[in-house]
Amino acid sequence: MSKLAASPEPKSLETQPVPGSKVVSYPARDADPGGGITVVRALPLRQHRLVGPWCFFDHYGPLTFGNRKAMDVAPHPHIGLQTVSWLFDGEILHNDSLGCTGMARPGELNLMTAGQAIAHAEETPARNSGKLHGLQLWVALPDRERQRAPSFDHYKDLPVLEPGGGRVHLFMGELAGQRSKARAFSPLVGAELKFETNARMRLPLNPAWEHAFVIIDGKISLDGKPLVPGALHYLGTQRSGIELSTKDPARAVLIGGAPFEEPIIIWWNFVARTAEEIQAAREDWEQHRRFGEVKAYKGARLTAPSFSARPIAGH
């Protein structure tokens, strides 16, 4: 678990305006959420707790490994959010307290809607490719949906756009007139952008939404200006499109959505509105109430950290 309050203060790298609206770049930071992997965390930021309904952005890998289990995140609880597991390489096996199981692979989304309570485990399966590279993202549920019953869905057939210059895998929400069938509860977009050599890719954006952009591999320019790697590039609202260019193959992720107007609290694996809700969820997990058990996982479950006012984010 990593204490966000102990992380270095993100600072702006680039503040000059570009056509459309200002881009502000915030360095991502290393974090150790447990489970055997270190991650680069782009969200939450002090300046932006959310981008649309997206409230958490972890990037891990690329890793290669032999016999060891690269990822082993023991059973732990969630409330008030959806977890979005999207891989560029390798495999992750999900098991949860509903008895659902799902194997995330490149192009195949694992989407867990925690609602009022769920517990899950995520681990490298026994039969694996020896590689792992991907994202763990969270979407905050709006107040009217956050007490809903939990669910888990695995999606294989997601839209692939070819806007010129490469391919776009639309794993959540809407982009360029296409829509992912993955179940969402707020207007949003989540997409992987894969660029060819000497690519120039134009994508329309919804100007009422805010967007952000994270480079995964390679070098990418936005509206002709090189973007700093290892940062979250916040694009704001009032932008009706972006033009991205690369010399060599590259990969990035675009997230966005309607600005999320409800203030949220993130503590450990919980997204809530009040400290009392967080404390109640923590107590229910520790007392084996509400969340159920992940019967398919062989091993002990995680213990909640002690409650404090400091935000602590997990997985």
Residue number of the CB atom closest to Mn ion:
315
Phi, psi of 108 (to 5 degrees): -125, 120
**CB of 109 or CB of 193, closer to Mn ion:** 109
- Gap between the Cα atoms of 138 and 7, Å rounded: 19
Q: Does 282 bind Mn ion (CB under 5 A)?
A: no
The partner residues of 192 in beta bridges, in order of sequence, read 169, 253
> Which of 53, 110, 81 has its CA nearest to residue 278?
81
- Give the nearest distance from C-beta 139 to Mn ion in angstroms: 13
Q: Does 48 bind Mn ion (CB under 5 A)?
A: no
Site for Mn ion (CB under 5 A): how many residues?
Answer: 1
**CB of 195 or CB of 268, closer to Mn ion:** 268
Q: Does 94 bind Mn ion (CB under 5 A)?
A: no
- Gap between the Cα atoms of 42 and 181, Å rounded: 26
- Give the nearest distance from C-beta 85 to Mn ion in angstroms: 9
CA angle 60, 63, 69 (to 5 degrees): 95
Pattern of binders to Mn ion over 296-315, x per CB under 5 A?
A: -------------------x
**CB of 52 or CB of 75, closer to Mn ion:** 75
- Give the nearest distance from C-beta 172 to Mn ion in angstroms: 17
- Gap between the Cα atoms of 196 and 60, Å rounded: 23
Q: Specify the residue for token string 């007490």.
A: 147
The partner residues of 133 in beta bridges, in order of sequence, read 89
Provide the binding-site residues for Mn ion, judged by CB under 5 A. Answer: 315
